[in-house]
Amino acid sequence: MLFDTHTHINDESFDADFSEVLARAQQAEVGRMIVVGVDRPTIERVFPIIDQHKFIYGAIGWNPEDAIDMTDADFAMIKRGLTHPGIVALGEIGLDYHWDKSPKSVQHDVFRRQIRLAKDAGLPLIIHSREATEDVARILSEEHAETIGGVMHCYSDDWTWAERFIDLNFYISFGGPVTFKNAQLQRETATKVPIERLLIETDCPFLSPHPFRGKRNEPARVRLVAEKIAELKGLSLEEVAEQTTQNALRCFRIDESSENG
């Protein structure tokens, strides 16, 4: 069974066919997934999903693009939410220098506050890094994030940086872009990342893999990511599914025999 470690199935684009989306995931042998909330509306939508579906786990955090909007009340909401037994990570958090909405200094402050919160809660991190790799690595190191570890979500940098993040106790996760024809860097990196440190994801409804690029993504398509990883590493789909699922259970400290909330 496959584990989609990063979904936004709490997105409004799934409202009309949510049960069908989950059914298609089951048919594609996606047995577990994580639903991620990144602001107040999407965080609030995480909890009903994880309460109703025992093999869907939650992650909550404040995304870097909107760092300037995060209030003390929002921080307190995240802190409270982390106590829910179905929440297995804090994220996605990090730095995003692509958009110009939140100044770097504000992003850095919000990032550090949330790393410290995750450490207090004993939860791993889900890291969003866009055009900010050096600062992300520096802040993770300065905050001793290796004590809790986590995952570099939808990884798009080279092997040199991936090796550094692995040394900081992070897993490297690949999504739909690894299947794109122009994604040579991701494929080269995925080939070099040890299978024991690799995760797979969709980031749905975004980043749909080939041949569905540009269409709404959904958890069933994590199978296409796994197939590409298997091809790159000369492994069977079953081997990739087994190893990446075990990696996810270990990363997010999920007891395979237990049920959440």
pLDDT of residue 135: 98
Mean pLDDT over all residues of the chain? 96
**90 forms bridges with which residues in the sheet?**
60, 125
Q: Rounded to 5 degrees, what are φ and ψ at 171?
A: -85, 160
Residue 111's contacts (CB-CB under 8 Å, 6 or more residues apart) are 64, 67, 93, 94, 95, 139
* Domain-located, residue 261: no
Task: Write out the binding residues for a divalent metal cation.
Answer: 6, 8, 92, 128, 153, 203
* Stated pTM of the model: 0.96
List the CATH number of the domain containing 18. 3.20.20.140
Structure tokens at 48: 């009903």
CA atoms of 144 and 138, how far apart (whole Å): 10
Could you report the per-residue pLDDT of 192-241, keeping only the tens digit for each? Answer: 999 999 999 999 999 999 999 999 999 999 999 999 999 999 999 999 99
Q: How far is CA 29 from CA 3, 32, 242, 252, 261, in A?
A: 9, 9, 12, 20, 23
* Domain-located, residue 259: no
Give the residue ranges of DSSP H helices in the chain: 18-27, 40-52, 72-81, 104-121, 133-142, 159-167, 184-192, 222-233, 237-251
Q: Is the pLDDT of residue 31 over 80?
A: yes
Question: Please, which pLDDT band fits residue 260 given cuts at 50, 70 and 90?
Answer: very low
- Residue 168's CB is within 10 A of a number of other CB atoms, namely 17
Closest by CA position to 35, among listed 91, 96, 116: 91
Could you report the per-residue pLDDT of 32-89, keeping only the tens digit for each? Answer: 999 999 999 999 999 999 999 999 999 999 999 999 999 999 999 999 999 999 999 9
Question: Please, which pLDDT band fits residue 100 given cuts at 50, 70 and 90?
Answer: confident
* Domain-located, residue 46: yes
The answer to whether residues 59 and 37 touch, using CB atoms and an 8 Å cutoff, is yes
In the three-class reduction of DSSP (H, G, I as helix; E, B as strand; rest coil), residue 152 is classed as strand
The answer to whether residues 61 and 109 touch, using CB atoms and an 8 Å cutoff, is no
Q: Which domain holds residue 114?
A: 2-252
* Domain-located, residue 238: yes
Q: Is 33 left (phi over 0), alpha (psi -120 to 50) or beta?
A: beta
* Domain-located, residue 213: yes
Total domains, the chain: 1
* Domain-located, residue 130: yes
Task: Write out the binding residues.
Answer: 6, 8, 92, 128, 153, 203
The answer to whether residues 66 and 102 touch, using CB atoms and an 8 Å cutoff, is yes
Question: Please, which pLDDT band fits residue 257 given cuts at 50, 70 and 90?
Answer: low
Query: What are the respective helix, strand and coil percentages of the chain, to the nearest 5?
Result: 50, 20, 35
Closest by CA position to 132, among listed 149, 111, 163: 111
Residue 132's contacts (CB-CB under 8 Å, 6 or more residues apart) are 94, 95, 96, 97
* Domain-located, residue 186: yes
* Domain-located, residue 148: yes
